[in-house]
Amino acid sequence: MKENLAIEALKEGNLEGLETLAGLYYHRAVKAAFLIVQSKGEAEDIVQDSFLRAVEKIGQCKPGCFRPWFHRIVVNAAIKSVGKRNRLISFEQPGRDSQAPLEEILRDPQPGHQAVVESRELTGEIWKAMRRLPVRQRAAIVLKYYLDQSEAGISAMMNWPVSTVKWLLFSARKRLKVHLYAALADPQPATQNPVGRSETEIGES
């Protein structure tokens, strides 16, 4: 109800409606974007621009549809942002790794319980493995496991066929397993060739 009033306010040109929508969706959207682009600043920029875009196009939003509509804007913007960055890395700057290291994000000066340490290690490896997924697979994982969308929901939200969603999720999970197995079995990072992509990735492309 509050959300619908906010949307109506925006449709009338009253930016106060933004407060409700920001309260409801901002942080979750930044987190989702962060999981895709793996850069906090970039994620915040994406969400800020997505809100601007949402306000500009608010006329397209029907009551009750804001959440999937807005998440679609955010996820598409994140995919686009990574696509742009990947191109530059792939072709120009071999091996460059500009993403934030999770170790810094999760650093905790207090010694933890063994289980906590192991859990953190797994989380760290998932973070690294996520980084190595093609961006659409990464987005699919975020939509499914962070934004809690069903496959049909992802399909409707992103305008991807259900079969594509299934394929993306299947491929992503398979790759994650391969990377996690390799990482947990061998602490050394996978060898990078001079174009900045692991051989496994090239082989699977």
Interface residue list for other proteins (CB under 8 A): 13, 15, 18-19, 22-23, 26-27, 30-32, 34-35, 40, 43, 48-49, 51-52, 55-57, 59, 80, 83-84, 86-87, 90-91, 94, 100, 102, 105-106, 119, 122-123, 126-127, 134-137, 141-142, 145-146, 168, 176-177, 180, 193-195, 197, 202-203, 205
Return the structure tokens found at 147. 């934004």
Is 123 in contact with 116 (CB distance < 8 Å)?
no
3-class DSSP state for residue 113?
coil
Nearer to other proteins, 65 or 91 (CB): 91
d(CA 130, CA 175): 9
Nearer to other proteins, 94 or 189 (CB): 94
- Minimum gap (Å) between residue 64 Cβ and other proteins: 21
- Minimum gap (Å) between residue 92 Cβ and other proteins: 8
β-bridge partners, 198: 192
Is 175 in contact with 167 (CB distance < 8 Å)?
no
Nearer to other proteins, 180 or 190 (CB): 180
Is 81 in contact with 97 (CB distance < 8 Å)?
no
3-class DSSP state for residue 95?
coil
Residue 6: CB partners within 8 Å, gap ≥ 6? 17, 18, 19, 20, 21
- Minimum gap (Å) between residue 145 Cβ and other proteins: 5
- Minimum gap (Å) between residue 126 Cβ and other proteins: 4
Nearer to other proteins, 35 or 154 (CB): 35
